[in-house]
Amino acid sequence: MGKFYGELGDELSLHVRHLAWLNTVPKPEKRSITDKTEPKSRLREMKDGGIVPAMPPCATPWIVEQLVEIGPVVAAGMGRAPIGWADIAAWSAMTCVTLPPWQARLLRRLSSDWLAESQAAEKPDAPPPWTEPDPDAERRAAISAKVGNAFRALLGSRGRRPS
């Protein structure tokens, strides 16, 4: 598919997988018969707690919007399945949006990614596919490198004798 489309697909895959993780309702280990509380997705839990979840960068959000509009997954005989070519073609025909072949393939791939992540995210302790970068990490790494260089320079100068 080419380097550009491959990198775009990887970026979108991470975004879609994170969306799937957020929108999945984790299956509880054990649930009481008398427990009538409605299980909530991670996204709903966060919003109810006043938290706005961070999302990975996405240069082409309209492709994700198309995937969600088509439906990230479809009902199948034994559960859920990725969207099929017929689903993409029907959406394309009904919305009068002509998709280039690479984009149709990408939508199918993203649907598969969504399904795989949502199945993995059913575990209550499933880690998110993306975490927000620590803004201080880069600064700490730079300071650590400077301190390391200073110690190396100090140790190097101690081994030299003045002439």
Per-residue b or e along 33-58, where b marks 16 or more CB atoms closer than 10 Å to that residue's CB? eeeeeeeeebbeeeeeeeeeeeebeb
Quickly count: other Cβ atoms within 10 Å of residue 116's Cβ.
14
Q: pTM of the predicted model, to two decimals?
A: 0.77
Residue 159: the pLDDT is 61
Q: What is the pLDDT of residues 88-133, one digit of tens each?
A: 999 999 999 999 999 999 999 999 999 999 999 999 999 999 988 7
Residue 160: the pLDDT is 59
Instruction: Give residue limits of the domains in the chain.
Output: 3-130
Residue 154: the pLDDT is 80
Residue 156: the pLDDT is 77
Q: What is the pLDDT of residues 19-41, one digit of tens each?
A: 999 999 999 877 677 777 889 99
Quickly count: other Cβ atoms within 10 Å of residue 30's Cβ.
5
